[in-house]
Amino acid sequence: MRALQRPARPLPLLLRPAAKVFLFALCLLPFAWLLRGAVLSVMGTNVLGANPAEALIRATGDWTLRFLCLTLAVTPLRQALKLPALARFRRMLGLFTFFYGAVHFLCYSWLDMGLVWSDIVRDIAKRPFILVGTSALLLMLPLAATSFNRAIKALGARRWQALHRAVYAVALLGLLHFFWMRSAKSNYAEVAVYAAVIGVLLGWRLIAALRRRAQAAGGGASGSAISTASSP
């Protein structure tokens, strides 16, 4: 008799195509909510507070920082939870970080400055916290543009990885931008939360890099005693 074939195992949840579709829709929810609020405000139904323009600018900035933290959290979570499939979501989260950052800058340029570019340039030069935020967005531009497989092949894995380490500078600049903005109203509670989260995520990477360096320098038996961690 022919041996009975075992039924194929179903794909793990994180590897299913629907997982990316679900995450994409989830990442768009904040934008959809803010867009709805903007449309209702134009129609006379204010759901964004006394100053809808300021609410949109701040909310898009907040979501940029949140998505940046989520992007940085993928690698530590992937290793801590032993879920390599989490890596497939990092690119999408990174692109949404850039998306919300671009929308944040657009809201500032349009709602606060009326898209008068000469005034925007002067304002960026005059106010350090806007200069820092703009610098973070400009740093994200090449990261978003080279986040695809063709870019990795064109640049080479080592150069691509070196370029994408700029995300750490983006995190620090984004945190500084957020701190300066909140300090105007002496509101430091949220700043402390984001500083703690980013500090842990960057500190984890620093420790992992030091361990890899120690392992490479020690070699042999001494190197095998040091636990390894994959690159960020």
Q: Do the domain assignments include residue 194?
A: no
Q: Do the domain assignments include residue 201?
A: no
Q: What SS3 string covers 28-53? A: HHHHHHHHHHHHHHHCCCCCCCCCHH
* Per-residue pLDDT tens digits of the chain, which is 232 residues long: 455 555 555 556 767 778 899 999 999 999 999 999 999 998 888 888 889 999 999 999 999 999 999 999 999 999 998 988 899 999 999 999 999 999 999 999 999 999 999 999 999 999 999 999 999 999 999 999 999 989 999 999 999 999 999 999 999 999 999 999 888 777 889 999 999 999 999 999 999 889 988 888 876 444 444 343 344 5
Q: Do the domain assignments include residue 13?
A: no
Distance from the Cα of residue 10 to its chain's centroid: 31
Domain count, the chain: 1
Range of the domain at 36: 22-177
Q: Do the domain assignments include residue 226?
A: no
Contacts made by residues 30-33, CB under 8 angstroms, sequence distance 24+: 30/59, 30/63, 30/100, 31/63, 31/99, 31/100, 31/103
Q: Do the domain assignments include residue 192?
A: no
pTM value? 0.86
Q: Do the domain assignments include residue 127?
A: yes
Q: Do the domain assignments include residue 163?
A: yes
Q: Do the domain assignments include residue 14?
A: no
Cβ(60)–Cβ(103) under 8 Å? yes
